[in-house]
Structure 1
């Protein structure tokens, strides 16, 4: 077995093993309080007092019929922008009804648009709530909370150009207002104010909270994708799972199932899904207490941003402004919020993974190619070409070395004959020959090895980024984030029945056009060199393209498209470089030779 074939088999086997493990690990898809800050606070202490069962009813408990009906029948004001629709409940002033106009649940044009937030009482309820925790001179009934009925002051529809203001008078000298604005995308600005017209000094602490009832219905639980609670704690980011929240211990102030962190500035907290997220975002220099809390009794998950206590003298008015992101995880939109609004490390809400130093620039390049080309499929092809240009010096050196090895083949055969059974002598002679001719036998596997992290990074980009979701390419490929929908089992649509559903046993052999082209491109790439004489090597080389074809058949079409393009470019580069160094690959002769060997094996 010559060193060149050893290196090629080693690199191919390593690539196969790593991708197989990757495929197995990351298979394609298939006694808290109602008011989260109800504990008493003092003017000089931003921490709530100990939670007791006497202060309020438990938060997030399964709503009674009356409670559900009360929320369902509560008056509402509309949300209507170019990208959002929904409403705000005047019961608690909850932002609990939000739909994303630009996205549909499924690929079909008549599929419903994505519903992101939903009211309490609905399955998997998910909403944002703001309020005030009572301090000195106040109790729960004198500050607005989850069940406060607000009135509308002025405009009664929230749009990009028209904010809305909610008002509540507690009847004892305090008037609360909440002004909500929204931009052209997904960022809400919430300004909470309180006016003290009474005779005494009072204190209270504002808060915002996101509440989820149960885990998300479409939770994927893939190791490759982070879904769940996430918070930025100044320079440190914390990514947790829902299971982690269930394991929280007791906090001496916030009670059971809570994790509490003090954030001096540059923080945010909330929940991220595969393609959507909701984040409470204080002003960049605003200190706050970040609380993640889980109620086992109610099966609710809360992300809370609680701000320092305010003290109001008679005749004084104070206010605090914070932000809420609720919408799609669009790279460009999130980047603008980070760069223009100064939201610290907001782009990290997209799960770039361990290979972030590759995934971030790869997606940046893919995004900008798509801006120019207007089609993600052709952008993936363009990305592949650029990557091949970047690694061309390495590929050139490798293929030139392979051509040189072919030239040295007669001398190597003579050295083997001269050494006989003395393997040590043969290896020593080979090394001297390599040194004399300035050939590195290991360089032949470098192009294959360098493709592994690039392949993984592109897989990550295609899987986690919203921009590939439902992105078409051409002809039958209408979703580059999904497997090729065509199937050899129904002759690619010629027979009158649908291919097997993804995840079924038959789906494994239900190969589409792209996976088949992938197998063929790998097979042709092998034919640039004669098949090895060793039977074991012949078997490995014979099966490898078709194993990869079946293994990658259920991967995203965008990834398979990248691999095919990469194979075609690699074939062309290798053929031209080897010819320029005096070795002319006999592709058709090698193909004929492989069939002749099969005929002899049958005889």
Structure 2
């Protein structure tokens, strides 16, 4: 194999590292109840009495299983209505369990329903938030508000961004609990909890917030995207997917699969999906216990923010606040909460990945291009052009090196003939040839290596960005986050039947226009150079464009659009740079030769 083809093959393989997307399936395993799981008792960590978390939030220490919350039945509800959110909150337990996002629909169909972020107990994959107080001393579990507590609220109260709602509950034993609920003009609730002790004895309680998911939700199961638990602890981000949550060790203090951290400041915890998230954020810089849990017996995932215990003397009042974000992971919105409302690292709840030092500025550029152009499809093309222009000096060095290697091809062929089977003589001759002509065969690969993190970061930004969801380009591409809806099987809509659904086994061969253009762009890029003389190499090169065409056929149109643009610009750059070094690529000649070889084999 000559060094020119070695470099070309390596460059192709390195590009393939960026292109290859591997679906990683996480099949749920049968839950196995640990027979050795310890019974839960009230324990102490430092000077903070731990909640008997096996039955949190009632905290009575009675069981290690997650509490079975009853469906609300006819329990009254508080309506929630803002410009961006609609839904309701149940007075049974004060559960935040019915939230829809008015700006986002499930599909692009005009009659589609709004996205449902939180859902009630009893619905498939129930997902909700709970708040309350856990007993520590001087009060028992029956006298603190729990998930079955029926709160009181003003008649016909509606929670809006201008009108907070106050819930109250008198336990009849000398304590009155109050919860003032507020919501802003985006996706942030604020729960200000108060306990007034009118008894003659002091009590000690701990305020908490819980986000709970019943069952593992549908996820993309895509290795470049994190979905699952996410938390910030003392400024450090941690991510645990659902499989990792189910594999957590049994925590003796928690009595179930759990991982807890004592956060001193700057923290939050919750669950994140592809585009949405629900996060608990304790007010201020107060320390809190951040706990991730998994209840195997009922397949419940739980995130907890438990604040320090407070002692309320007779006749005194204690107050605690926790915010709840439940909505879309919009960059500008998260940035507002981080910069203006002190939610440390909230923008990092977007999965920027390992190359965050590339993905963040790339996203910033895409976001601003979209604000300028007003169309995400053209913005992706413009961003790809900008990125290719920035790395042009590296690309120039790579392609120039390949062109110089091409110039040395005749002398390298002579060396092969004279050396015969003597590989040592061949290597020595090539080294002398490189030295004489001041050519470094590795210089064509190094720029490619440097570009890989940049292009992978661009790929990731396009995949995870909220702005891409349901964003139209033009014509038949009305959702850049979905696969190309056209299909070769119905001649791109000319035949009177619909294309196979993405779930159908025919979807893999139901290629749309964009995937076909992707295959063609890769094929043309290859034909800038003659096919390798080695049969194995030639076969790899011949199949690679079409393999990638099928691999990416069901990927988001925005991603495929990026790769078509990238391949097209790369083709133009490489062609012009080779011409500038005196080598004229015979693209059409190379195409003819490839077909001629096939015909010769068939004959």
Query: Does the alignment reach a TM-score above 0.5?
Result: yes
**What residue in structure 1 maps to residue 36 of structure 2?**
none
1:81 paired with 2:55, answer no
Unaligned runs of 5+ in 1: 32-36
**What residue in structure 1 maps to residue 370 of structure 2?**
370
User: Given the superposition, is the C-alpha separation of residues 87 and 433 from structure 1 closer, same or farther in structure 2, using an over 3 Å criterion?
Assistant: same
Report if aligned partners of 2:7, 2:402 keep a CA contact under 8 Å in 1: no
**What residue in structure 1 maps to residue 292 of structure 2?**
292
Aligned pairs for 1:195-344 within 5 A: 195-216=196-217, 218-344=218-344
**What residue in structure 1 maps to residue 145 of structure 2?**
144
Per the normalisation by structure 1, the TM-score is 0.89
**How far apart, in 2, do the equivalents of 1:600 and 1:270 lie?**
63
**How far apart, in 1, do the equivalents of 2:245 and 2:417 lie?**
68
**How far apart, in 2, do the equivalents of 1:160 and 1:533 lie?**
70
User: Given the superposition, is the C-alpha separation of residues 165 and 549 from structure 1 closer, same or farther in structure 2, using an over 3 Å criterion?
Assistant: same
**What residue in structure 1 maps to residue 51 of structure 2?**
48
Report if aligned partners of 1:487, 1:510 keep a CA contact under 8 Å in 2: yes
Report if aligned partners of 1:61, 1:297 keep a CA contact under 8 Å in 2: no
1:499 paired with 2:483, answer no
User: Given the superposition, is the C-alpha separation of residues 88 and 564 from structure 1 closer, same or farther in structure 2, using an over 3 Å criterion?
Assistant: same
**What residue in structure 2 maps to residue 34 of structure 1?**
none
**How far apart, in 2, do the equivalents of 1:538 and 1:247 lie?**
46
1:156 paired with 2:160, answer no
**What residue in structure 2 maps to residue 23 of structure 1?**
22
**How far apart, in 2, do the equivalents of 1:253 and 1:160 lie?**
40
**What residue in structure 2 maps to residue 387 of structure 1?**
387
User: Given the superposition, is the C-alpha separation of residues 442 and 258 from structure 1 closer, same or farther in structure 2, using an over 3 Å criterion?
Assistant: closer
Report if aligned partners of 1:46, 1:307 keep a CA contact under 8 Å in 2: no
User: Given the superposition, is the C-alpha separation of residues 535 and 129 from structure 1 closer, same or farther in structure 2, using an over 3 Å criterion?
Assistant: closer
User: Given the superposition, is the C-alpha separation of residues 255 and 590 from structure 1 closer, same or farther in structure 2, using an over 3 Å criterion?
Assistant: closer
Q: Alpha-carbon deviations, 1:254-299, whole Å to 9, x = none?
A: 4334433211111111222222111111124111122333333443
Per the normalisation by structure 2, the TM-score is 0.89
1:122 paired with 2:123, answer yes
Q: Alpha-carbon deviations, 1:325-383, whole Å to 9, x = none?
A: 11112222122212222212222322233333333333222222212212221111111
**How far apart, in 1, do the equivalents of 2:251 and 2:594 lie?**
70
**How far apart, in 1, do the equivalents of 2:7 and 2:541 lie?**
13
Unaligned runs of 5+ in 2: 27-32, 34-39
**How far apart, in 1, do the equivalents of 2:59 and 2:572 lie?**
76
Distance apart, 1:602 and its partner CA: 4.4
User: Given the superposition, is the C-alpha separation of residues 300 and 548 from structure 1 closer, same or farther in structure 2, using an over 3 Å criterion?
Assistant: closer
Most deviating of 557-566 and 152-161: 152-161
Aligned pairs for 1:202-601 within 5 A: 202-216=203-217, 218-446=218-446, 448-450=448-450, 452-601=452-601
SS of the residue corresponding to residue 493 of structure 2 reads coil
**What count of residue pairs does the alignment treat as equivalent?**
588
SS of the residue corresponding to residue 491 of structure 1 reads helix
User: Given the superposition, is the C-alpha separation of residues 279 and 51 from structure 1 closer, same or farther in structure 2, using an over 3 Å criterion?
Assistant: closer
Report if aligned partners of 2:14, 2:452 keep a CA contact under 8 Å in 1: no
Report if aligned partners of 1:41, 1:133 keep a CA contact under 8 Å in 2: no
Distance apart, 1:446 and its partner CA: 4.6
**What residue in structure 2 maps to residue 4 of structure 1?**
4
User: Given the superposition, is the C-alpha separation of residues 155 and 566 from structure 1 closer, same or farther in structure 2, using an over 3 Å criterion?
Assistant: same
Report if aligned partners of 2:18, 2:455 keep a CA contact under 8 Å in 1: no
SS of the residue corresponding to residue 112 of structure 2 reads coil
Distance apart, 1:459 and its partner CA: 3.7
Distance apart, 1:501 and its partner CA: 2.3
